[in-house]
Amino acid sequence: MSEPPLRDRPTVRVLLFDPDSRILLMKGRLPGAPQGKAAWFTVGGGAEPGETVLQAAVREVREETGFEAVEFGPVIWRRDGPLKLSTGELVMFREHYIVARCSGGEPSRDGWEELERALVDDLRWWSLDELRACEERVYPSALVSGLPDLIAGRYPLEPLTIPWA
């Protein structure tokens, strides 16, 4: 007997840039592996029922950074893959990567949920050169190589599919 298909989890990841073309990344562990090795990743999370990708992006940026004056651009990447939630349920993440820009500054953690506080160790702005020199894991794996075009405002006409790994 075959396994039932995984439940889809629409997700938004925000490539949030400041005026100096630095990107905001969080360092943390996966909910399904809270004792695992930490990695750097973009701001974002799951879309709530009935939310569009843009609505989820606005909400996630506000909750995870406190920034409200944000200019959102297009979805530039898509990425799908299985991942365990904090409940242990294995779901199919359907990630949408959207470009956004803000005035920068110190992000606020006031809107974080208890799970985010437990799993996220750091939150900081990164320049492209700093990311190129970073020896820690950064997700998605296509982030660093894709940044020069994004920083220059060159976006694909349609979202590109990037690898899950």
Pairing of strands 7-17, 90-102: parallel
pTM over 0.85: yes
Nearest-CA neighbor of 140 among 93, 100, 103?
Answer: 93
Classify residue 1: in a domain, yes or no. no
Domain of residue 25, CATH code:
3.90.79.10
pLDDT digits (tens, 9 = 90+) for 24-59: 999 998 777 778 889 999 999 999 999 999 999 999
Classify residue 80: in a domain, yes or no. yes
Count of structural domains within the chain: 1
Classify residue 62: in a domain, yes or no. yes
The predicted pLDDT at position 1 comes to 67
Structural domain span for residue 34: 7-161
Classify residue 72: in a domain, yes or no. yes
Distance in angstroms (rounded) separating the CA atoms of residues 32 and 141: 20
In contact, 84 and 30? CB cutoff 8 Å: yes
Where does residue 129 fall: left (phi above 0), alpha (psi -120 to 50 degrees), or beta otherwise? alpha
Classify residue 2: in a domain, yes or no. no
- Tell me the pLDDT of the chain (165 aa) as tens digits: 677 789 999 999 999 999 999 999 999 987 777 788 899 999 999 999 999 999 999 999 999 999 999 999 999 999 999 998 888 889 999 999 999 999 999 999 998 888 888 889 999 999 999 999 999 999 999 999 999 999 999 999 999 999 997
Classify residue 120: in a domain, yes or no. yes
